[in-house]
Copies of this chain bind each other. A is one copy, B any other.
């Protein structure tokens, strides 16, 4: 497979624009399309902001801004593209039609990657007649130009060579791709996030802890550790280098906590519960400068990612 120099980005909303910034900052040429009114101007604004924030960028902002083309019709360019990153609406009918078209009109062996978080590719390759084995999900974590995680989710007929090539491509951009071996609702990250959110909602709505303190439990404790070692490695280190030791030592406590959590599961289906939770959260958040929180987070996030890249090279 030839090396990837030109990427086609379909859909230039928040995710598509952020991908575009990443590709440009890493020296790739990008052809972008989006049918929404005003999409071209919005993309330019996003890129002005995002490109210079990309950790370990190899291109200046000026070079980035000259290395993309916004097009209203991408069809005439499809033959010149080395990889597609699709960020269209999460609607099955639209994706089915779009992927059938892309499969028919792009070079037969280029990867067509969808950023979809909700629809597994097995559901939208149904009308692809040419080479659906090069289609897969490459789900980024928001915002893609800062956060390294990419979940690569093949469908059952995606070719191994395309999975490998996709991994290598995202790795070459300093991303951290993982491979999800079976199509699973929510893939990995959204499930782990849902697990935390469900218990967070339960604890806050039961009045065990304020939403501010709940968040602090993560940002001043668990999250700091998880930014550096994942749960399995953390368990292993906690067991003195032995996961088995950890689980035989802490397993009974874990079960007791999980059983109690199960008993107090938050009912996301209850309008009343959800509204009450929303009121508690709003009571906190209305006094917080969200713009500042977000700006602060993005600044520290970029620093942290850059710092980790340096540490890993040691």
Spell out A's residues near B (CB within 8 Å): 118, 141-142, 147-149, 151, 176, 178-182, 184-186, 188-200, 203-204, 206-211, 213-233, 235-238, 241, 243-244, 247-248, 251, 253-258, 260-261, 268-269, 274, 277-278, 281-282, 284-285, 288, 290, 293-294, 296-297, 299-301, 303-305, 307-308, 311, 314
The answer, among B186, B219, B233, B261, for a CB contact under 8 Å with A228, is: B219
Residue of B nearest to A223 (CB): B226
If the complex has contacts A147-B220, A176-B216, A192-B222, are A231 and B197 also in contact, measured as CB distance less than 8 A? yes
Closest chain B residue to A279 by CB distance?
B244
Residue of B nearest to A294 (CB): B237
Residues from chain B with a CB closer than 8 A to the CB of A141 are 220-222, 225
Q: Are A233 and B293 in contact, with the CB atoms below 8 A?
A: yes
Output the nearest chain B residue to A146 by Cβ-Cβ distance.
Answer: B224
Cβ contact within 8 Å between B244 and A230 = no
Contact A293 B237 (CB under 8 A): yes
Given A189-B222, A268-B251 in contact, is the A196-B231 Cβ separation under 8 Å?
yes
Establish whether residues B194 and A200, one from each chain, have CB atoms under 8 Å apart when the complex forms: no
CB-CB under 8 A from A180, the residues of chain B are 208-209, 213
Q: Are B193 and A195 in contact, CB atoms less than 8 angstroms apart?
A: no
Q: Select A237's contact among B184, B229, B290, B305, beta carbons within 8 Å.
A: B290
Instruction: Tell me, rounded to whole Å, the shortest Cβ–Cβ distance linking A184 to chain B.
Output: 5
Copies in the complex: 2
Name the CB-closest residue of B to A297: B228
Q: Which 4 A-B pairs have the closest CB atoms?
A: A215-B230, A223-B226, A149-B221, A176-B220
Residues of B within 8 A of A255 (CB): 268-269
Q: Determine which of B181, B190, B206, B224 lies in contact with A305 in the assembled complex, contact meaning CB atoms within 8 Å.
A: B224
Give the chain B neighbours of A182 by CB distance below 8 A.
206-208
Which residues of B are found within 8 Å of A254, using beta-carbon distances?
A: 194, 197-198, 268
Inter-subunit contact A211/B223 (CB<8 Å): no
Which of B149, B178, B217, B237 sits near A192, CB closer than 8 Å?
B217
**A223 partner residues in chain B, CB cutoff 8 A:** 223, 225-228, 230
Contacts of A203 in B (CB 8 A): 184, 188, 191
| B257/A230 in contact, CB under 8 A | no
Q: A200-B192, A208-B181 in contact; A290/B241 too (CB < 8 A)?
A: yes
Are A219 and B215 interface neighbours, CB within 8 A?
Answer: no
Give the nearest-CB partner of A224 in chain B. B227
Interchain CA distance A43-B58 in the complex, whole Å: 48
Q: Are B290 and A260 in contact (CB under 8 A)?
A: no
